[in-house]
Structure 1
Amino acid sequence: MGLGTLLFGWPLMPIYAVVKLGELMRDQVERELHDPAVVRRRLEEVEQARADGRISAEEEDRAVEEILRGMVGW
């Protein structure tokens, strides 16, 4: 890091930090969307909600479709 970068770049450091934080959050969300264990758990939760009568068959279908779309990135 040169002196010019140090002198003129430090005011932008908070912006760089926010951008980096956003990238880390995006990466974490993508990992969770594509992690088979997380997808399986979400599908099991939907199945249990249907078995308990908390959601209808149509709502179950929509939830499963949404989960699978998130998994493959549609």
Structure 2
Amino acid sequence: MISTVVGSRVILHVCYSFREYVCEFQIKISHHHFVLFVFACDGICMTNFPVYWFLQVYYQHASDCLTDLFPS
């Protein structure tokens, strides 16, 4: 997985189920001061996710990449 930080955007190249996706997480601050990430993969906007979900996905994708590269 390769991550690139561009301003408030984080671009992730992730492999999932033997396919590479280009995902973007854009940091947004809501009027309630919650930090949200706008999540999009391959240009398709999914929805807003809170930070803890982003961290879970980040590490899950890293794990999936290793699993794909080195299957047990």
Mark yes or no: TM-score above 0.5: no
In our comparison, the structure showing a higher alpha carbon Rg is 1
TM-score, normalised via structure 2 length: 0.31
Q: Which one scores higher on RCO, CA 8 angstroms, separation ≥ 6?
A: 1
TM-score, normalised via structure 1 length: 0.30
Higher helix share: 1
Higher strand share: 2
